[in-house]
Amino acid sequence: MNLKCEFIVKFEEYFLQRCHLYLVLEFCDSGSLADQIENKLKTKTQFSKDQLIKWSNEIIHDNEYLHRQNIVHRDIKPAYIELFEKKLYLAIK
């Protein structure tokens, strides 16, 4: 399967080692949304309203694309939303 969507983490390859399956995905330089939320809690700061709206739209766009491909992501959560250059990417894990 080759998903071609701007905001979905790209799958590079996979390999098996000692009965474990490893997936190699595109590198996302800013960690997950869960990391960002944790950082905001520690620093007692908030995301801007504009940032939250932008990210929400990106997540909706990703999910709509997956649905058009007959894929349902059943575990969307902050830990599976990766950030790269201040854009959100949905990781299918």
**SS3 (DSSP) at 53:** helix
The contacts of residue 67 (CB under 8 Å, 6+ apart) are none
Q: Cβ distance 32 to 40 under 8 Å?
A: no
Is 35 catalytic? The answer is no
Alpha-carbon Rg of the chain, whole angstroms?
A: 15
Catalytic one of 29, 50, 62, 75:
75
Give the active site residues: 75
